[in-house]
Structure 1
Amino acid sequence: MSYSVNEILQQAYPVMPVLAVQRVEDARPLAEALKAGGLKVLEVTLRTEAAIDVIAEMKKVEGVIVGAGTVTRVEQLKQLEDVGADFAISPGATPRLLDAGLQTSMPFLPAVASVSEMMQGMELGYTHFKFFPAAASGGVSALKAFAGPFPDVRFCPTGGISVKDFRDYLALGNVACVGGSWIVPADALNQGNWGRIEQLAREACELAG
């Protein structure tokens, strides 16, 4: 099944886990734990050699939507299409990536950190963006300011967001969901502590209401 960017972000509410997975064998139990905790839209960052294979394995888990983050090169979009990724997210928005994102068969979410970058994407027809790095780029205050002149743009803020403040972002009308790495702590992943990860996912859903 294919989804639009808007549908993916709606289903990612409240949190899209941002994952850096080193071992392919961790892919399926990790996806199962996050799904059991209530989070079914997963972003696997292309920061590890195993990332593409991890996406392929997670795709075998029924009921999860699996995409890639840290997409920095146009060629990576073809790799992700070949492996059946459901979406792609970049940490920035170069002209080449923006153009390629319009051509790919996957929903593509470019990242912006400023109004000027957002307007460049809007000129090409983008209406949904990752806001990154969120905390370092003004956080909640910046997104509030964006809402006035750009009421129809929606965001997935990521970067520096934690369990302590993610609800502040979700309270904004222009935020569809947040991206967060706190759901999967490195030590829990390394130890295969799937129960702890499931609990963190469940707590985020409960806190978000």
Structure 2
Amino acid sequence: MTDSAPPRPPLLHATGLRFTRDDEPVFGPLDLAVDTGEALLVQGENGAGKTTLLRVLAGLLRADAGEVRIDGRIATPAERAGVIGYLGHLPGLKGDLTTLENLDYLGGLQGRRATQSSNRALEAVGLAGYEDALARQLSAGQRKRLALARLWLSPVPLWLLDEPYANLDLEGIELVNRLIQTHLRQGGAALLTTHGAYAAPPVRTRLIELRRAA
């Protein structure tokens, strides 16, 4: 009889994660995990540390304690770059480039999904016909859609989405849900924050509540 293979570790696993600012606790210690094919919804009021948590997981901030592992390995900058795509409150776009130029530029830096193109990504987020529009001329909702198109093009399996429904109408919310659904069906995973339950992806979702540190 042969031994069964050990279970595969989660795509992302954080243990004992803690962050303080100016000697004041923001969150933690916190344990969380997200695996392929699922979404983890981090809910909490404003000031609970949701954005800070995502920035720590993305490697943009350093935690005071704890560790983050990706596929069982310590999350080095190189590990994070190959696995994590981060969508924050700021879209991270170049205002004087067109929508198409933004996607082509970022795709050249970060790579892109097989069979995908910048034009198809714009179409997927409802920006077909805006290929020559400058990013700075777009509305807040359209800039969010362009940032989503950039994320959609990226080949990374784990999406970190900070308030992805902000600045979007009902159609935009449905768009986010469709993108997340498709991403999960293709073996991806998502960790997203919200300060309320007004919107959540209709997929296999686990919920954790983040509260202000005492």
Does the pair score TM above 0.5?
no
Q: Which has the higher contact order (CA 8 A, sep 6+)?
A: 2
Q: TM-score, normalised by structure 2?
A: 0.37
Higher helix share: 1
| Greater share of residues in strand | 2
Q: Which protein is bigger by CA-based radius of gyration?
A: 2
